[in-house]
Structure 1
Amino acid sequence: MPLGGIIFIFIFIAVFGAFLLWVASKTGGKAKYNPVKFEPYECGLPSQYKKDTKVSVKYYLTAILFILFDIEIIFMYPWAVSFREFIATGTGAFVLISMMVFIAIFIYGLFWEVKSKALEWD
């Protein structure tokens, strides 16, 4: 794609984005300030914590580890579905060995996580 086409796309996106913001400002209504809407939802009960309450890093660590291992499992599904096609084309052994390396790294990470006590809440 020539440089002129790239510049045209950037200009088009900027103009179109500005146009959409202008249309939204003209057609949308102004929101009234309501202090109740800015309070955290606690089932109708008044808030008991300050806004600067620190959240434990263990929550974030657990979430990130869940996402990491979940994505690894998601990578295994297409491999399992298409493994017969790899065998038919003659590349089954290579694909099997590469998946075994992937699973070995996966299991090593799982053992490292347990050994480092990443999921303990003490």
Structure 2
Amino acid sequence: MLDIYLPILVLIAVALAFALGSVLFSWLIGQKKPSAIKLAPYECGMPLIGTAHERFSIKFYLVAVAFIVFDIEVVFMYPWAVVFKQLGWYGAAVMGVFLFVLVIGFVYDWKKGALEWE
């Protein structure tokens, strides 16, 4: 029974040894010259402004929700594209309705100004 899992256990052991060895090796030979710039949190190359407890604008969340909705749209389009020939005109019509509803949502977001940054 153990013979079946032996290759998997060997692979896990090799992966852990490689990961731990890489970290240990870089710790041993790496340069340790801390400075104020190196110890500062990195955020897009821009200097820090304010604290970490600032409130975000509601526009940020609206754009995030719109991104998730349209990202899910693409996830549904991949399997549809794979079986497009088997679905025929019915599949094309259903996807057309799906895309129409999403375009209506996109136009609504656009008209409400949810996609504009100020």
TM-score, L = length of structure 2:
0.56
| CA distance 1:77–1:23, change in 2 (3 Å) | same
Q: How has the CA–CA distance of structure 1 residues 109 and 10 changed in structure 2, closer, same or farther, with 3 Å as cutoff?
A: farther
1:26 aligns to what? 28
Q: Offset of 1:106 from its aligned partner?
A: 2.5
Q: Distance in 2 between matches of 1:92 and 1:18?
A: 53
For residue 96 of structure 1, report the CA deviation from its aligned partner: 1.1
Query: Relative to structure 1, is the Cα distance of residues 105 and 10 closer, same or farther in structure 2, using a 3 angstrom cutoff?
Result: farther
Find the residue that maps to 2:32 and give its secondary structure.
Answer: coil
Structure 1 distance, partners of 2:68, 2:102, is 13
Which position in structure 2 is the counterpart of 1:38?
40
Q: In structure 2, list runs of 5 or more residues that go unmatched.
A: none
2:99 aligned partner: 103
Rounded Cα–Cα distance in structure 2 between residues aligned with 1:27 and 1:69: 46
Say which structure, 1 or 2, has more relative contact order (CA 8 Å, 6+ apart). Answer: 2
Gaps of 5+ in 1: none
TM-score by length of 1: 0.55
Give the count of matched residue pairs: 109
Question: Would the alpha carbon gap of residues 30 and 58 (structure 1) be closer, same or farther in structure 2, given more than 3 Å must change?
Answer: same
- 8 Å Cα contact 1:61-1:118 kept in structure 2: no
Percent sequence identity is: 25
Among 55, 77, 92, which residue is 2:88 paired with? 92
**1:76 deviation in Å?**
5.1
Distance change (3 Å), C-alpha of 1:76 and 1:59: same
Q: Distance in 1 between matches of 2:70 and 2:55?
A: 26
Compute the displacement of 1:72 (Å). Answer: 2.6
**Over aligned residue pairs, what C-alpha RMSD do you find?**
4.2
CA contact (8 A) 1:113 1:119 kept: yes
- Is 2:11 aligned against 1:9? yes
